[in-house]
Structure 1
């Protein structure tokens, strides 16, 4: 190791380490096991450490100052690695969970080299695909086609960089030129003109998505082709973000569709570090997971460069543009483009626009659950502001559900689990599997049968999949104790719900 710098290990993933509850939805755990080749225990341990990583990185940056060479997770997520230049001298990084390594260049130097390339727009050609600071290799990587005559054009582009002299720049051969993933959606599809894109993340008053999915003034239609809203802000190229203001028929909710019959709830938008686990949702490739590979990438699309993107190997394909990118329960960004897809590449790359710059640009507020660790949310009636409630917290089979003043108790906390709605370890259920108007909504032992499958629509209808009817407050009763049934969907307030 290098003189004067402490090497402190944190919480490595070992067989003897105790399981950690990362507080994330089970569908995320399942997808990470499938796509990252981890055990369930490793998934929870990884996510638990990743939640600490942003604070550790901030502390290390403050301690090292100009000697800071960036921070990234090791391959299993058990340690945060911090690069340190020789200028650090005797400065020590005293943080549990941080391992230091000597690097030749500071992060500030690498960002300076990248900025030189960002300014060299005149020398761009389609042969140059993207470039970014690569923290683990302490270099600026340029992905480009270097075959034949293309190499000369790449050399012309690199000629302005001072990084050529000190080895800060390296070129990696790239076979796939990035292109916007136009006909795409994120969690749910939306349509404009003859095109389809994806909802990224709901915000108060609408949702964010990709800028190449419609200019200002474009009318949008939801997944059901119902009039949805209007694009109020859009930037493309340069950046790739937009926001859509929705009409009163649509209610923004704090979740991402997981394509397994349920939703992943969003708790915030803390930016994940390099090598963090990433999952994304889209209509073509549905739910896919990978890792965050690099940040602040400049991608040279056919229409011009886009700056500040992030790259992941959670693959995508045509039809996924604008879609949600999430790490654990933290929103990360909206899908921008791909270089190689789930179907034609063994090493696909997906580029996404980070979400926080979008929120800042338009003064938007992300729809979130307000925290929590997967303990569920309440269904609040638009008729009377009361919550769906288990009477007297009696979690017994056959108890009919009611309305009650919202109190935040477990009797009013519901979680989507593979299409079912669960509270206290039991499932919301249509009594006796009936499809008739007036059938009681009750609590029952979870069996996964169709009588326990429910979907909350964007318009606020909580619909029984079995009966294709709405959860309804009997006789529009606004009092505590009003019972719940299923009934033909009418659009009336006694059938409208907000999940929060």
Structure 2
């Protein structure tokens, strides 16, 4: 908050306010995203509110939720190691809730024993992740010269299907423009087509509503993503470089240093005027505020939760990585698809798995009454793009 009093010097009070974009000064927080440091630290006990949120949104019992959180944390920490062990045979990986284990796709069984020795399971696949990423990049190239029609909602690498999955509106496959795009995509590599009844994806910014986290140029509301040294990150479609930002109380926070949309959907906002940062994601009373301890990427199949200024706290699962989403404003690349709902005003908000930052809300379809899906821009890409350091506990 811009003005600090004695109560706000107490850490619990600061943590309760942190998603509004202020709290401890940057010098008080030391980043810790190194795998060795994260692996050495014992996992904190699961927050009762988070367990309850997973019970509500994923239909788990409390014991199942706690077990799953532990299993997912193990899987995320194994991911870099098994990728190295698999080498050129690596065909992607995903978390299997039924087995509670990371599953690693391999094109060569000679690597299976070493991978299984880590505790991960293996599955034979025909194509490497590198080949699938190359095919997906080729489809992206097709889309730049031949923009996808609106009935093509997106495309992604799916490690479980070992293919590039293109999603299209139900009943649209025979449409001439859709068919032409699918033919061009199929020529680029291994493609599977998935018909879906989902609505067209949209971004999730909103007009001014009092009492919400931050406003851009006085007339658009978005949600803070994660605190970084010097400011915070959010969605790119929320504002442009130089756009001024004010907080929930109407006081000046700072301005957008840079943003990218479409193509990407990320931004960096530098703060000042007495606003501080803390390593916390607001739980909105549904869960205790979440301390951010790093940014390990959660594999497909993991649970993930989102915090936003409109619909507050909701959970779901990671459905896909490296997806191109065909918004009306243009395609956005390398997003992560989730089953979490969202609504206008949630744009830019935080996605977390356990205590690990995942990304900032980009867009979606549906709502939190009837259901829907959302995509997020991975936070590690944003940090790398701007040379930022995540504020962590």
Taking structure 2 as the reference length, what is the TM-score of the superposition? Answer: 0.82
User: Does the Cα contact within 8 Å between 1:280 and 1:288 map onto a contact in 2?
Assistant: yes
Instruction: State the distance in 2 between where 1:171 and 1:151 align.
Output: 15
Instruction: State the distance in 2 between where 1:297 and 1:284 align.
Output: 25
Equivalent residue in structure 2 for 1:332, among 337, 351, 358? 358
Instruction: Name the counterpart of 2:102.
Output: 80
Equivalent residue in structure 2 for 1:49, among 49, 71, 83? 71
1:231 aligns with 2:253: no
User: Does the Cα contact within 8 Å between 2:138 and 2:188 map onto a contact in 1?
Assistant: no
- Spell out the pairing of 1:463-478 with structure 2 (5 A cutoff): none
User: Does the Cα contact within 8 Å between 2:95 and 2:102 map onto a contact in 1?
Assistant: yes
Instruction: State the distance in 2 between where 1:222 and 1:90 align.
Output: 52
Identify if the C-alpha distance between structure 1 residues 197 and 184 changes in structure 2 by more than 3 Å, giving closer, same or farther: farther
Instruction: Compute the displacement of 1:145 (Å).
Output: 2.0
Q: Max radius of gyration: which structure?
A: 1
Instruction: Name the counterpart of 2:19.
Output: none
Instruction: State the distance in 2 between where 1:171 and 1:333 align.
Output: 25
1:357 aligns with 2:381: yes
- Spell out the pairing of 1:449-464 with structure 2 (5 A cutoff): none
Instruction: Name the counterpart of 1:366.
Output: 390
User: Does the Cα contact within 8 Å between 2:212 and 2:221 map onto a contact in 1?
Assistant: no
1:191 aligns with 2:215: yes
User: Does the Cα contact within 8 Å between 1:199 and 1:323 map onto a contact in 2?
Assistant: yes
- Spell out the pairing of 1:100-179 with structure 2 (5 A cutoff): 100-120=122-142, 121-123=144-146, 124-147=148-171, 151-162=175-186, 168-179=191-202
Structure 2 stretches lacking a partner, 5+ long: 1-41
1:303 aligns with 2:329: yes
Q: Per the alignment, in what secondary structure is the counterpart of residue 131 of structure 2? A: helix
- Spell out the pairing of 1:275-314 with structure 2 (5 A cutoff): 275-314=301-340
- Spell out the pairing of 1:376-415 with structure 2 (5 A cutoff): none
Instruction: Name the counterpart of 1:66.
Output: 88
User: Does the Cα contact within 8 Å between 1:180 and 1:212 map onto a contact in 2?
Assistant: yes
1:341 aligns with 2:341: no
CA displacement 1:446-488 (0-9 Å, x = unmatched) = xxxxxxxxxxxxxxxxxxxxxxxxxxxxxxxxxxxxxxxxxxx
Structure 1 stretches lacking a partner, 5+ long: 1-19, 370-500
Instruction: Compute the displacement of 1:224 (Å).
Output: 1.4
Identify if the C-alpha distance between structure 1 residues 56 and 352 changes in structure 2 by more than 3 Å, giving closer, same or farther: same
Of the structure 1 ranges 330-339 and 68-77, higher mean CA displacement relative to structure 2 is found in 68-77
Name the one with the larger helix percent.
Answer: 2
Instruction: State the distance in 1 between where 2:284 and 2:193 align.
Output: 39
- Return the structure number with greater relative CO, CA threshold 8 A, min gap 6: 2
Instruction: Compute the displacement of 1:358 (Å).
Output: 0.9
Taking structure 1 as the reference length, what is the TM-score of the superposition? Answer: 0.65
Instruction: State the distance in 2 between where 1:153 and 1:47 align.
Output: 43
Q: Per the alignment, in what secondary structure is the counterpart of residue 121 of structure 2? A: strand
Instruction: State the distance in 2 between where 1:75 and 1:286 align.
Output: 26
Instruction: State the distance in 2 between where 1:294 and 1:107 align.
Output: 13
User: Does the Cα contact within 8 Å between 2:309 and 2:345 map onto a contact in 1?
Assistant: yes
Instruction: State the distance in 1 between where 2:250 and 2:99 align.
Output: 42
Instruction: Compute the displacement of 1:21 (Å).
Output: 6.8
User: Does the Cα contact within 8 Å between 1:64 and 1:88 map onto a contact in 2?
Assistant: no
Instruction: Compute the displacement of 1:286 (Å).
Output: 1.1
Instruction: State the distance in 1 between where 2:65 and 2:43 align.
Output: 9
Instruction: Name the counterpart of 1:252.
Output: 277
Q: Per the alignment, in what secondary structure is the counterpart of residue 270 of structure 2? A: strand
Instruction: State the distance in 2 between where 1:344 and 1:50 align.
Output: 27
Instruction: Compute the displacement of 1:170 (Å).
Output: 2.4
Could you say what the CA RMSD is over the residues aligned between the two structures, in angstroms?
Answer: 2.4
Instruction: Name the counterpart of 2:347.
Output: 321
